[in-house]
Structure 1
Amino acid sequence: MSAIRVMFIGRSPNLASTRVRVANLLEPLSHRGVRAELHILPRLFCERLKLFRKSAAFDIVVLQKKLLSPLIFFFLRQASRCLVYDFDDAVFVRDAFGFDNAAKIWISKSRQRRFKRTVRNVDLVLAGNAYLENIARKFNPNVAVLPSPVSLTNHPTRNDFPDNPKPVVGWIGSRTTLKYILSIESILARVAAVHPFELRIISDTPCSVATLTCHHIPWSLEQQDLEIAHFDVGLMPLSDDPWTNGKCAYKILQYMAAEVPFVASAVGMNVEVACGNTTGYAVRSDREFADSLIKLLDDKALRRQMGEAGRAFVEQHYTVEVIADKLTGLLKNLVSS
């Protein structure tokens, strides 16, 4: 088969999901017979129509995460030979952290309508995890799980560096997710009273934790892997709700790539990548969270064992190369069918 041409349409080159799930895969796809291009969705209606007209030159168009208005989606569908929808968040609900799961505030009828319309009318859906796959499958039988990949090229690991003077517990995220690390402030304070540690937070926004000394590290694409590799334990606390179940455990995959064990809430995909608590701990209560963190802080050998197991798991299932192979197969099958 000759090389297939694929147009990815994303919202912004700076958006994490577009960078991780599209931009990082373009070169690996080119080595597998897929000539892929990333195009950013314009803001103006007329510019969007110009972009869609270009799609006729491509075998496949992949709409990445964006839920379009009915009219704009109609024009895209009409212009595309094969149309794929890729998403890695629960885009069909609101992020309503702090509200009861039964509360109607989670429900967004406009998001639900756009999501259903999109999924029903594409040729293939790529979902970031099994929870998202199950939701999409209600409206389209042609759904595949495509995890978010991690690049291991020149990726530093914890074992590349000497011991920290005091164990480092770390978290990486953005201003929109700082609420999750702040939600376990009292747990971290209790743990620090038993086993002192240094807390590092990598974020685009400074964060202060009232009961602990917190070292803020400004996020940068170039330095994030190096900073994570200096963690002794990574954290991924989450609430358990319709929004967080759609998360694809990317923080944890970053920790695992750096051979850093983790403590995470047992929510959604976090449980899957914990591998029965062999790569890190997926916990269901505040007490489990504290106990698991203390256990890792107390045992350097356990941290190393879990970190190495996590790295091996990522190498087997979540590298850019592994995900590029899977995506190539899905796209080529779509064209041939």
Structure 2
Amino acid sequence: MKKVLFVAAHRPNRSPSQKFRFEQYLSFLKEHGYDYDFSYIISAKDDHILYQPGKYLGKLAIFLKSSFKRWKDAMKASSYDIIFIQREGFMTGSTFFEKRFSKSKAKVIFDFDDAIWLQDVSPVNNKLAWLKNPDKTKDIIALSDMIFAGNQYLADYASKFNQNIRIIPTTIDTKRYTRIPSQKDKVCIGWSGSFTTIKHFEYGLDFLRAIKNKYKDKVYFKVIGDPNYVNEEFSIQGVPWTEESEIKELSEIDIGIMPLPNDEWAKGKCGLKGLQYMALETATIMSPVGVNTTIVRDGENGFLADSTDEWIEKLSQLIESSELREKLGKNGRETVLDNYSVSSQQNNYLKYFDELVPKQ
């Protein structure tokens, strides 16, 4: 069998980017001739240190441990046929390890799903921002043998530095994503994300406030992914994301929202929140930014809303019509099945691996 080393930051089932970009394909690849090792550098214990303010000694220990782990990866790089780097090989601005991988006998695939060439540091680590160098993204792209870009916007950026680019959309395992029915007498408007993207939920507070005042106790609001988020005005206590509870928590949502500012970072997003909602037949409204305008056909499989007035109007339509919610939800799932599911992309995934290391 051919051998692949997957290089990523987090342990399996921890990071949505990893899960929805490559982890879902691992068993399929193994069934078709690709054995693999998975090298990650941030453990569950490290999470509690890395994403808390301060704790600089603990973060230094993580840095040293991670450096040693990547050294080991670099030393054995030539024993692999492919090295798959998701976003970056190491958490600092250095491309030292990517250069070592590129000089090995292995072919290098670089995968990214955000505009990571722009600075976007977690608020708790602002004081360590000097260690980051988002501009290194272009160097990693240039070093790689093939690029997996999550959408056309990212592919256009990558094409400045490498011509061997494949667009692989972020995908949903639709066999796993099946809605769990629930009975309730209120309409749930929900958002799923993380503590680093909660600012995008708050980007929608003006229109949510108008909806709350208009419909009062007919609606309620839910945030998934940031358990520390509290908004007393909307009676929100964020709930954590876990793999075990993910489908149940998402299934409670009747209307899934993805508000975004129209900036360069948002244009690089791959629409994951919306695709998760749509896969579960949840009526979905997204800002018309980046790939969202490709995913959603306004009024057919979801809604696009730009201004506050548009958001209020389209949310109101969905709140007042369960039939419309059902129609958009069913059409949304069909869109995911056809274009953004693991089953719709897995043969492409395999084909691109085979292009790099043809069968003997």
The alignment's TM-score, normalised by the length of structure 1, stands at 0.88
Counterpart of 1:102 in structure 2 is none
- Do 1:60 and 1:83's aligned partners in 2 also have CA atoms closer than 8 Å? yes
Counterpart of 2:52 in structure 1 is none
Counterpart of 2:191 in structure 1 is 171
Indicate yes or no: 2:39 matched with 1:39: yes
- Do 1:65 and 1:85's aligned partners in 2 also have CA atoms closer than 8 Å? yes
Indicate yes or no: 2:101 matched with 1:81: no
The 1-side partners of 2:186 and 2:228 are apart by 22
The 2-side partners of 1:130 and 1:113 are apart by 19
**How big is the shift at 1:225?**
1.2
After superposition, the C-alpha distances for 1:18-46 in whole angstroms (9 at most, x for unaligned) are 23222222112222332233222584444
Moved more, 76-85 or 252-261: 76-85
- Do 2:5 and 2:80's aligned partners in 1 also have CA atoms closer than 8 Å? yes
Counterpart of 2:291 in structure 1 is 269
Counterpart of 1:30 in structure 2 is 30
Which amino acid in structure 1 is aligned with residue 119 of structure 2? R
Cα distance change on mapping 1:178 and 1:113 into 2, 3 Å? closer
Counterpart of 2:315 in structure 1 is 293
Superposed counterparts of 1:38-187, under 5 Å: 38-41=38-41, 43-66=65-88, 69-95=94-120, 111=133, 113-157=135-179, 160-187=180-207
The 1-side partners of 2:4 and 2:242 are apart by 29
Cα distance change on mapping 1:310 and 1:80 into 2, 3 Å? farther
- Do 2:87 and 2:112's aligned partners in 1 also have CA atoms closer than 8 Å? yes
After superposition, the C-alpha distances for 1:275-313 in whole angstroms (9 at most, x for unaligned) are 344221122211111111111111111110110011111
Moved more, 117-126 or 179-188: 179-188
Cα distance change on mapping 1:96 and 1:11 into 2, 3 Å? closer
- Do 2:85 and 2:111's aligned partners in 1 also have CA atoms closer than 8 Å? yes
After superposition, the C-alpha distances for 1:53-88 in whole angstroms (9 at most, x for unaligned) are 322222111111116524332212112421111111
**Residue-pair matches, total:** 324
**SS class of match (1:243):** helix
The 1-side partners of 2:266 and 2:84 are apart by 24
Which amino acid in structure 2 is aligned with residue 83 of structure 1? V
Q: Which of 258, 278, 302 in structure 1 is aligned with 2:300?
A: 278
The 2-side partners of 1:109 and 1:140 are apart by 26
- Do 1:55 and 1:79's aligned partners in 2 also have CA atoms closer than 8 Å? yes
The 2-side partners of 1:154 and 1:17 are apart by 17
Counterpart of 1:6 in structure 2 is 4
Which amino acid in structure 2 is aligned with residue 264 of structure 1? M
The 2-side partners of 1:50 and 1:33 are apart by 25
Which amino acid in structure 1 is aligned with residue 208 of structure 2? L
The 2-side partners of 1:147 and 1:224 are apart by 21
**SS class of match (1:5):** strand
Give identity over the alignment, percent. Answer: 26
The 2-side partners of 1:331 and 1:186 are apart by 46
Cα distance change on mapping 1:57 and 1:179 into 2, 3 Å? same
After superposition, the C-alpha distances for 1:94-121 in whole angstroms (9 at most, x for unaligned) are 1389xxxxxxxxxx99735411211112
Cα distance change on mapping 1:218 and 1:40 into 2, 3 Å? closer
Cα distance change on mapping 1:23 and 1:299 into 2, 3 Å? same
Which amino acid in structure 2 is aligned with residue 26 of structure 1? L
Moved more, 9-18 or 121-130: 9-18
The 1-side partners of 2:147 and 2:105 are apart by 15
- Do 1:256 and 1:314's aligned partners in 2 also have CA atoms closer than 8 Å? yes
After superposition, the C-alpha distances for 1:192-212 in whole angstroms (9 at most, x for unaligned) are 232331111112333333532
Which amino acid in structure 2 is aligned with residue 38 of structure 1? F
The 2-side partners of 1:175 and 1:41 are apart by 20
The 1-side partners of 2:77 and 2:154 are apart by 27
- Do 2:9 and 2:89's aligned partners in 1 also have CA atoms closer than 8 Å? no
**SS class of match (2:97):** helix
Which amino acid in structure 1 is aligned with residue 115 of structure 2? A
State the Cα RMSD in Å. 2.4
Q: Which runs of 5+ in 1 are unaligned?
A: 98-107
Counterpart of 2:214 in structure 1 is 194
- Do 2:142 and 2:161's aligned partners in 1 also have CA atoms closer than 8 Å? yes
**Structure with more contact order per residue of length (Cα contacts < 8 Å, sep ≥ 6):** 1
The 2-side partners of 1:307 and 1:80 are apart by 47
**How big is the shift at 1:11?**
1.1
The 1-side partners of 2:198 and 2:302 are apart by 21
**SS class of match (1:263):** strand
Q: Which runs of 5+ in 2 are unaligned?
A: 43-64, 123-129
Indicate yes or no: 2:251 matched with 1:229: yes
Cα distance change on mapping 1:75 and 1:166 into 2, 3 Å? same
- Do 1:150 and 1:320's aligned partners in 2 also have CA atoms closer than 8 Å? yes
**SS class of match (1:247):** coil
The 2-side partners of 1:18 and 1:199 are apart by 28
The 1-side partners of 2:185 and 2:132 are apart by 52
